[in-house]
A and B are shown apart, each in its own frame.
Chain A
């Protein structure tokens, strides 16, 4: 398996030793099976040590792994009959956000997600998964369509942030993000949002107002990239690892803050090790949460979503008592 991160190096080295020993034994006709099984045991032990103690900074690197599954990698494993729809009907079709119709266990749903590229050419076409205003306006269009036809909406969040550039500013990046949040708050259908990779700031929350917000185990969600925070705080973007620790950006952190409802487990070593297993874990969570939401009517869904976001925040009031 290629693409191991620095913290996985001990595993890579041990695996290499085991392979060498096996080969050596075969060549020389010596039986090393005792030694090999001891090393395999050690390997399994090391593996659980490493993967059970993934630090926030390591999660940041896993969330940004170049092989990490994107929205379009996961969709075919979760849904059937996906039909991608295009364009915002005003300016263009932003490939940094994809969306369309699909079936989940036979039931029609609307699926929307950020889309990173799979290679350099794809990444350039998709602006590295950083949407322009037309991307958010496409998302809004598809959401209103879902509402009209009574379909649940599922969004996948995976972006470093909204596109920072003159073209985006001219066309109203701020308005597009703000309007998307307002529209989502008032949708009459169930909305579930899943952070599958990097949840980067306003570009992420723009499609993040769900009745349920879920996160993959190694995904991160933050107001500013740890690199950006490090360059502001310590004038040194290379201290991103340090900033990642301070900023509480991991799925368990967000569960503690009651910002997300569930952490979806990834295959050992991260989502990029097994797309299908990752997708099935997401599908399982979607089925459960959609089931719970299906009993709510339009007004109850809107109220439920408002209450969820209304109570987020930690501040002091009345004689210095923090709210809970």
Chain B
């Protein structure tokens, strides 16, 4: 009788899951995979936690278990930053061409459009944050690694000029692998063009908030991203000029584990703030509010 009471229950129902496949369960791997609709689940690239995509969306694509800020498409970022329905896109017709007839560039551009659903690596326009009008440029890493060629440089320059002309606060969300190699010197010159535009914008007293998201490197880090009146990064965002790989390959220097993370940059004085994605809109709104001109009587 007692034996019955302490009998080990061995008959739990087992369900095949992705996790058992990951753990190397041979039996599980042999079973036919369950039909799970594409995109239903999402796995954190940092801690490996699997969760419902819908839950993750609600959490602004921040992993609920480790706090990892996942990369966002420009349109997702706009939706979570600007007041609903306030965004009006500018210069959507400005797109890249292949000025150098660079090997493979034209095809790659088409691929990137399909992949990201965007026409360029940056989306620009006007909108509002808590009722306050702003000019924004939002880069998207899923389009050509957010690289800056002529079209990206032109769109960013135009929105800077627009903000200057209409006295709007400017917010740029950066994420980029750097200048776009396929446009060679024309890409490099976009660094000069955007920085010069910001010089003129600053001269007029314009307010520029630069938000650095993961990752922001090379020609974008070394131009408009680091020229904000306020420079804010998302937690864990990697940014800097020369990437880890380049440094390790060229000068074979041993680099710290947290190299070029937001914390590293904050520690070395390269940032004003590190702000969680959930708090970003509030912080941007607050900073803009503290710079708004006193209402005329």
B103 at the interface (CB under 8 A from A): yes
Once the chains bind, are B197 and A310 in contact (CB under 8 Å)? yes
**Bound complex: CA of A171 vs CA of B270, how far in Å?**
8
Residues of B contacting A162 in the complex (Cβ-Cβ under 8 angstroms): 222, 241-242
B236 at the interface (CB under 8 A from A): no
Q: Are B269 and A309 in contact (CB under 8 A)?
A: no
Q: Per-residue 0/1 for B254-296: is the Cβ within 8 Å of any A Cβ (1 yes, 0 no)? A: 0110011000000011100000000000000000000000000
In the complex, which residues of chain B have a beta carbon less than 8 angstroms from the beta carbon of A2?
none
Q: How far is the CB of B247 from chain A (nearest CB, A)?
A: 5
Is the Cβ of B242 less than 8 Å from the Cβ of A310? no
Most buried by A among B185, B198, B200: B185
Q: Which of B196, B202, B242, B247 contacts A309 (CB 8 A)?
A: B196
- B224 and A314: CB pair below 8 A? no
For B153, what are the chain A residues with a Cβ–Cβ distance below 8 Å? 313
Q: When chains A and B are docked, how far (Å) is the Cα of A185 from the Cα of B203?
A: 11
Would you give the shortest CB distance from A200 to chain B, in whole angstroms? 10
Q: B223 in the interface, Cβ–Cβ < 8 Å? A: yes
Main secondary structure of the interface of B (DSSP, over half): helix
Contact of B154 among A173, A182, A186, A315 (CB under 8 A): A315
Map CB proximity to B onto A292-324 as digits: 1 under 8 Å, 0 otherwise. 000000000000011001101111111100100
A178-B222, A183-B199, A313-B150 known; A166+B247 contact, CB < 8 A: yes
Complex CA–CA separation, A179 to B100 (angstroms) = 29
- Taking the closest CB of chain A, its distance from the CB of B236, in whole angstroms, is 17
Q: Which residues between 12 and 34 of chain B lie within 8 Å of chain A, taking CB atoms? A: none
**Interface residues of B, Cβ cutoff 8 Å to A:** 91, 93-97, 99-100, 102-104, 149-151, 153-154, 157, 179-181, 183-193, 195-200, 202-203, 218-219, 221-227, 239-242, 246-247, 250-251, 253, 255-256, 259-260, 268-270
Q: Which 3 A-B pairs have the closest CB atoms?
A: A164-B242, A313-B150, A185-B196
| Chain A interface residues (CB < 8 Å from chain B) | 162, 164-166, 168-175, 177-179, 181-183, 185-186, 201-202, 204-206, 208-209, 221-224, 229, 232-233, 246-249, 253-254, 257, 259, 305-306, 309-310, 312-319, 322
